[in-house]
Amino acid sequence: MSRPPERECGVEALAARLRELRAARAHPPSEYPVLLDAALAELDHAVEALRHAAQAPAPPRTPGAGAAYPFKAIFEHLPWPVILTDEQTQVRRLNTAAAELTGLPQAYAAGRPLAALLRPADRAALRAHTAAVARGDGDRSLSVRLQRLPDGPLHATLTAVEAPGEGRPDVLLMFTPTLAPAGAAHPEPRSTPATVVRQAELTALLDRTARALLAGTSPSSALGAAAGLLRDGLADWALLDLGPPAGPVRVAAHGPAEPEGTALEKAFLRQDPRDCPVAVEVMGSGAAAVEQLTDDPDRLGTDEDGTPLMVRAEVASLLSVPLTAPDGTTVLGALTLLRAGAGPPFSLLEAATAEIAAGHLALVAERDGTGGPGRG
């Protein structure tokens, strides 16, 4: 009986050890340093094995047919959350553990900015260290905080790796928890029952919004009240712009109820929508903008002092939808929803809800005559 190739045996043995390390995550936090050392040793071994596999001569085959298999198998089964990025922290792939930790779906992750997952104070440091590792300046490590876990710092270890099929080294980033208080919760992936519950909540939100539009004493008050309800059910901030794309007016800006948010709310309300790039884009194209992760400080424009509103509001996720008239082409305005800090990114289900609500708002705006000629 012929033996399997040695490399395949090594991969299977490594996968078995990784399964054991993954199960060890249930151990007390005091044992994490030992487990981390073991995981790092296995990661070093995997990187070295992949490097030798990439350099070894191989018989002719379809390009990429099998070269990436060992890498994918090892990558997916690493016991800690791992993410492969380029030198600018753009995600190339992440394993299941990383998807659960960050809340970023694997199918959506590619090409998204990893730095946008972090608290603003940690983003520049991650970018700088990632670029250094990609340049060949050696491995790095630092403590970072995710937006969704602001009180739970993570230890990020960065190392260069030559992934199969890539023309230049990428950076492999592994998250491990720092010592945390006993009983600290590990983020759980969203389950199907949770999705069903959320869908019911969104259906109720649409019902409340429709009632507000029907019960308003005037179209303008009804539109403002509906925008406030959408903020309560979907976001930290809701901005409502009405009028033709050439000259819209911001009629509502709803933010958190905290007193310190009053000045920022006024700044949003005073802004000319034509100085808000995402609103201009949505009203000009008639298409929604869904940015589950965003760290572009220019997306919302600036306040009167020139400070980016994205930075002031600590926006992490953005959703802007056009108010499209029943004719399907005339744009009467835009509804922009913002999530800040540790809030989860907007889901596609929530984006669909916002688009339905925007259609209801457009009906009222059209009857009120506040809309204008849309895109041609």
Residues in the chain: 376
Which of 358, 356, 351, 233 has the alpha carbon at shortest distance from 291? 351
Q: What is the pTM of this model?
A: 0.53
Percent share of the chain, pLDDT over 70? 74
Over residues 239-257, the mean pLDDT reads 92
pLDDT exceeds 70 at position 211: yes
Q: What is the torsional sign of CA 309, 312, 316, 318?
A: negative
Q: How confident is the model at residue 163 (pLDDT cuts 50, 70, 90)?
A: low
Tens of pLDDT, residue by residue over 334-366, are: 999 999 877 788 887 888 899 999 999 998 998
Q: What is the pLDDT of residue 89?
A: 87
Question: What is the pLDDT at residue 245?
Answer: 84
- pLDDT, residue 265, reads 92
Q: What is the pLDDT of residues 42-51, one digit of tens each?
A: 777 777 777 7
Domains of the chain: 6-177 (3.30.450.20), 192-368 (3.30.450.40)
> From CA 342, how far away is CA 126, in angstroms rounded?
18
pLDDT of residue 23: 66
Q: What is the pLDDT of residues 105-143, one digit of tens each?
A: 777 777 888 888 888 778 888 888 888 888 888 888 888
Give the list of residues 6+ apart from residue 257 with CB closer than 8 angstroms, or none. Answer: none
Residue 26: predicted pLDDT: 62
Distance in angstroms (rounded) separating the CA atoms of residues 319 and 336: 6
